[in-house]
Amino acid sequence: MALLQILKDGDELLRKTSRPVEEITPRITTLLDDMVETMREANGCGLAAPQVGVLRRVVVVECSPGKVYELINPVIVATKGKQNEIEGCLSIPGKNGITERPMYVTVEALDRNGKKKRYKGEGLLARAFCHEIDHLDGILFTDKALHMLTPEELKEYYEEE
Protein backbone atom coordinates (compact mmCIF):
# COMPACT_ATOMS: atom_id res chain seq x y z
CA MET A 1 0.00 0.00 0.00
CA ALA A 2 1.05 3.54 -0.56
CA LEU A 3 0.15 6.94 0.76
CA LEU A 4 -1.26 9.21 -1.90
CA GLN A 5 -0.98 12.94 -2.15
CA ILE A 6 -4.23 14.77 -1.34
CA LEU A 7 -4.94 17.62 -3.75
CA LYS A 8 -5.84 20.96 -2.22
CA ASP A 9 -8.60 23.42 -3.11
CA GLY A 10 -7.55 25.38 -6.17
CA ASP A 11 -6.36 22.29 -8.04
CA GLU A 12 -8.50 22.06 -11.16
CA LEU A 13 -8.81 18.25 -10.92
CA LEU A 14 -11.08 18.77 -7.88
CA ARG A 15 -13.54 20.54 -10.18
CA LYS A 16 -13.79 17.82 -12.84
CA THR A 17 -16.49 15.20 -13.22
CA SER A 18 -15.14 11.71 -12.59
CA ARG A 19 -15.82 8.83 -14.96
CA PRO A 20 -17.53 5.60 -13.90
CA VAL A 21 -15.40 2.51 -13.34
CA GLU A 22 -16.16 0.09 -16.16
CA GLU A 23 -14.08 -2.81 -14.99
CA ILE A 24 -12.70 -3.50 -11.53
CA THR A 25 -9.05 -4.12 -12.29
CA PRO A 26 -6.20 -4.61 -9.80
CA ARG A 27 -5.48 -0.95 -10.37
CA ILE A 28 -8.88 -0.08 -8.86
CA THR A 29 -8.51 -2.40 -5.86
CA THR A 30 -5.02 -1.02 -5.21
CA LEU A 31 -6.50 2.47 -5.45
CA LEU A 32 -9.11 1.51 -2.81
CA ASP A 33 -6.39 0.18 -0.48
CA ASP A 34 -4.23 3.26 -0.95
CA MET A 35 -7.20 5.59 -0.44
CA VAL A 36 -8.12 3.91 2.87
CA GLU A 37 -4.53 4.20 4.06
CA THR A 38 -4.33 7.84 2.96
CA MET A 39 -7.67 8.72 4.61
CA ARG A 40 -6.56 7.16 7.92
CA GLU A 41 -3.17 8.84 7.82
CA ALA A 42 -4.92 12.20 7.33
CA ASN A 43 -7.48 11.49 10.09
CA GLY A 44 -10.33 11.90 7.64
CA CYS A 45 -13.65 10.06 7.60
CA GLY A 46 -13.90 9.96 3.82
CA LEU A 47 -11.91 10.36 0.65
CA ALA A 48 -12.90 10.49 -3.02
CA ALA A 49 -10.62 9.43 -5.88
CA PRO A 50 -10.45 12.89 -7.51
CA GLN A 51 -8.92 14.15 -4.23
CA VAL A 52 -5.91 11.97 -5.03
CA GLY A 53 -5.92 13.00 -8.68
CA VAL A 54 -7.79 9.99 -10.08
CA LEU A 55 -10.93 11.01 -11.98
CA ARG A 56 -12.85 7.81 -11.31
CA ARG A 57 -16.11 7.32 -9.38
CA VAL A 58 -14.50 5.71 -6.34
CA VAL A 59 -15.05 6.70 -2.69
CA VAL A 60 -13.97 5.38 0.70
CA VAL A 61 -15.69 6.29 3.98
CA GLU A 62 -14.83 5.35 7.57
CA CYS A 63 -16.86 7.27 10.16
CA SER A 64 -16.45 4.71 12.92
CA PRO A 65 -13.05 3.04 13.22
CA GLY A 66 -12.90 -0.26 11.36
CA LYS A 67 -16.20 0.22 9.53
CA VAL A 68 -14.92 0.96 6.03
CA TYR A 69 -17.21 1.54 3.06
CA GLU A 70 -15.65 1.12 -0.36
CA LEU A 71 -17.97 2.57 -2.97
CA ILE A 72 -17.48 2.13 -6.70
CA ASN A 73 -19.83 4.11 -8.97
CA PRO A 74 -21.95 5.18 -5.96
CA VAL A 75 -25.41 6.67 -6.48
CA ILE A 76 -27.68 8.14 -3.83
CA VAL A 77 -31.01 6.42 -4.43
CA ALA A 78 -33.04 7.78 -1.50
CA THR A 79 -32.84 10.52 1.12
CA LYS A 80 -34.92 11.48 4.13
CA GLY A 81 -34.97 14.37 6.58
CA LYS A 82 -32.27 16.97 6.94
CA GLN A 83 -29.44 18.02 9.20
CA ASN A 84 -27.37 21.17 9.46
CA GLU A 85 -23.96 20.23 10.80
CA ILE A 86 -20.32 21.21 10.64
CA GLU A 87 -18.35 19.84 7.75
CA GLY A 88 -14.74 19.91 6.68
CA CYS A 89 -12.66 18.42 3.88
CA LEU A 90 -9.14 17.00 3.60
CA SER A 91 -8.70 19.12 0.47
CA ILE A 92 -9.66 22.32 2.30
CA PRO A 93 -7.60 22.13 5.50
CA GLY A 94 -8.44 24.47 8.36
CA LYS A 95 -11.87 25.43 7.05
CA ASN A 96 -15.24 24.30 8.33
CA GLY A 97 -18.75 25.30 7.51
CA ILE A 98 -22.36 24.41 8.19
CA THR A 99 -24.00 22.49 5.37
CA GLU A 100 -27.49 21.13 5.01
CA ARG A 101 -27.53 17.43 4.21
CA PRO A 102 -30.18 14.71 4.40
CA MET A 103 -30.37 12.93 7.78
CA TYR A 104 -30.71 9.55 6.07
CA VAL A 105 -29.40 8.41 2.72
CA THR A 106 -29.42 5.13 0.85
CA VAL A 107 -26.50 4.56 -1.49
CA GLU A 108 -26.11 1.94 -4.18
CA ALA A 109 -22.57 1.06 -5.26
CA LEU A 110 -20.41 -1.78 -6.45
CA ASP A 111 -18.06 -3.38 -3.97
CA ARG A 112 -14.51 -4.41 -4.93
CA ASN A 113 -15.83 -7.73 -6.21
CA GLY A 114 -18.20 -5.99 -8.59
CA LYS A 115 -21.24 -6.89 -6.54
CA LYS A 116 -24.01 -4.29 -6.29
CA LYS A 117 -24.62 -3.32 -2.67
CA ARG A 118 -26.99 -0.99 -0.87
CA TYR A 119 -25.90 0.96 2.21
CA LYS A 120 -27.91 3.09 4.59
CA GLY A 121 -26.32 6.02 6.34
CA GLU A 122 -27.65 8.18 9.16
CA GLY A 123 -26.25 11.38 10.65
CA LEU A 124 -22.49 11.68 10.16
CA LEU A 125 -22.39 8.67 7.83
CA ALA A 126 -25.15 10.16 5.63
CA ARG A 127 -23.20 13.41 5.53
CA ALA A 128 -19.98 11.62 4.59
CA PHE A 129 -21.69 9.71 1.76
CA CYS A 130 -23.13 12.95 0.33
CA HIS A 131 -19.88 14.90 0.73
CA GLU A 132 -17.73 12.25 -0.95
CA ILE A 133 -20.18 11.59 -3.79
CA ASP A 134 -20.30 15.36 -4.44
CA HIS A 135 -16.53 15.22 -5.04
CA LEU A 136 -17.17 12.90 -8.00
CA ASP A 137 -19.05 15.74 -9.69
CA GLY A 138 -16.49 18.39 -8.82
CA ILE A 139 -18.56 19.82 -5.96
CA LEU A 140 -16.90 20.96 -2.72
CA PHE A 141 -18.70 21.54 0.59
CA THR A 142 -17.75 25.20 0.46
CA ASP A 143 -20.06 25.50 -2.59
CA LYS A 144 -22.99 24.42 -0.42
CA ALA A 145 -22.09 25.80 2.99
CA LEU A 146 -24.82 27.92 4.54
CA HIS A 147 -22.17 29.55 6.70
CA MET A 148 -18.39 29.22 6.95
CA LEU A 149 -17.11 29.19 10.52
CA THR A 150 -14.80 31.93 11.75
CA PRO A 151 -11.75 30.81 13.78
CA GLU A 152 -13.56 32.02 16.95
CA GLU A 153 -16.69 30.01 16.17
CA LEU A 154 -14.58 26.98 15.43
CA LYS A 155 -12.78 27.27 18.78
CA GLU A 156 -16.10 27.59 20.59
CA TYR A 157 -17.49 24.57 18.77
CA TYR A 158 -14.61 22.33 19.74
CA GLU A 159 -14.71 23.53 23.35
CA GLU A 160 -18.37 22.51 23.56
CA GLU A 161 -17.65 18.97 22.40
| Candidate segments 88-96, 99-107, 112-120, 153-161, binder of Zn ion by CB under 5 A | 88-96
Cβ–Cβ under 8 Å, residues 67 and 80: no
Phi, psi of 148 (to 5 degrees): -90, 135
| Residue from 87, 132, 160, 161 carrying the catalytic annotation | 132
Cβ–Cβ under 8 Å, residues 96 and 88: yes
Give the nearest distance from C-beta 147 to Zn ion in angstroms: 18
| Candidate segments 26-34, 52-60, 86-94, 121-129, binder of Zn ion by CB under 5 A | 86-94
41 labelled catalytic: no
Distances (CA, A) of 27 to 38, 114, 125: 16, 14, 27
Residue from 89, 107, 128, 130 touching Zn ion (CB under 5 A): that is 89
Nearer to Zn ion, 115 or 147 (CB): 147
Residues 29 to 48: which contact Zn ion by CB under 5 A?
A: none
Alpha-carbon gap, residue 14 to 2, rounded angstroms: 21
**Residues within the interface to Zn ion (CB under 5 A):** 89
